[in-house]
Amino acid sequence: MIGRLRISLGAIRHNAKMLRDMVGPKHAAFVVKSNAYGHGLVETALAAEPFARRVCVYTLEEAVALRDGGITAPILVLGPVPPDALNDAMAANVDLALWDTGAFARKLAGAARNRQTRAPVHVKVNTGLNRLGFEPHELVDAVEDYLHMPELNIAGVFSHLSSAEELDSPFTMHQLERFEHALALAEPLFAKGEIVPLRHIAASAAAMLWPQTRLDFSRFGIALYGLWPSKQTREASQANGIVLEPALSYESELVVVRPVAAGSPIGYGASYHAARDMRVGVVPAGYGDGVPRALSNRGAFLVDGVRCPIVGRVAMNVTEIDLSAAPNAHPGSKVTLIGCDGGECIGADDWAEWCETINYEIVARLPADLPRIYMDEDP
């Protein structure tokens, strides 16, 4: 494969340290789910681990891969775990998210009992996102049920915010109030059981914009990778001295440079016709390689330090670009899909704007089989 990603571990460390320093030395957790948002699961986790109170993933498979890769920090699995994999969860010594008092909780207790250990769980409360978790008024009954299962160790209670990327977000405060009210109702049971669970609700945007949501730790995802949850978050945080370094760049090279006569169609569906005689470069990367088809006729790549517009439809493994601004480009010339060349940069945010989506989706959908080159220098 000609295309490759370059991942700066120095940038990952820089971002992890800055975020850790922002919330305090014992209050940063880092989320490396979905192949570390496309950056590479184990390598990213190893770079962030020295600054982490916890490492968070979504699946048990990710957690096991981290243990196999040498991660020793506490790991929290945020998503559902198949009941038949609970023995693996106990063997990996990971914390599990729990929002069930029925068969799953009993099977989890049984798996812990079989290994003569206790299963650390973080009880999830739904405060308004309406996906996973107990309703706030259900937390007391859930905790009471868990206290009758001595194999379960209530290590944490958490929730997730829906609108924290906004500077004016009454709903964020509403969710925090619901969460704190649920915790207050359960506090007598925690005291009775001599339990002091870790409380967490903030992800990247909330931790940056809403300090009152940081609680016992914050779960940093997108910010770890040097990307911002929103323009508002970036502007407010940079004004407070928070500077993040994008960790990922995407490179390829031209495999063909061909002349195209004025009026000639380019690409599938003839969606673009050359407005003039032009030179077109063929880049061996398409939607099968993480280049969204929505970039067709609206995105750009960098060649020789200038933006070269995408012409025609992005195909599965090929994208064509207009080389009018890069007259010296030739087969073998480097193409920067994401990153900087000379004084010009194209970021995941640019792709997201062109595609009318978010930067999370851009990087998380970069294929796992794209070669990743890890660079260890400081940014």
Q: Is residue 334 among the annotated active site residues? A: no
- Of 17, 58, 107, 268, which one is the catalytic site residue? 268
The residue annotated as part of the active site, out of 33, 37, 250, 287, is 33
Q: Give catalytic status of residue 17 as yes or no.
A: no
* Distance (Å, whole) CA 210 – CA 232: 13
**Ranges of H-type helices in the chain:** 9-23, 33-37, 41-48, 60-68, 86-92, 103-114, 139-147, 170-192, 204-209, 231-239, 348-355, 359-364
What b/e sequence results for 25-50 when a residue is b if at least 16 CB atoms lie within 10 Å of its CB, and e otherwise? eebbbbbbbbbbbbbbbbbbbbbbbe
Q: What are 58's two structure tokens?
A: 């979504």
Q: How far is CA 91 from CA 95, 109, 110, 237, 353, in A?
A: 11, 14, 14, 40, 43
Residue with tokens 């032009």: 278
User: What are residue 317's phi and psi, to 5 degrees?
Assistant: -130, 15
Structure tokens at 291: 């280049």
Strand-pairing partners, residue 307, are 302
Catalytic center residues = 33, 268
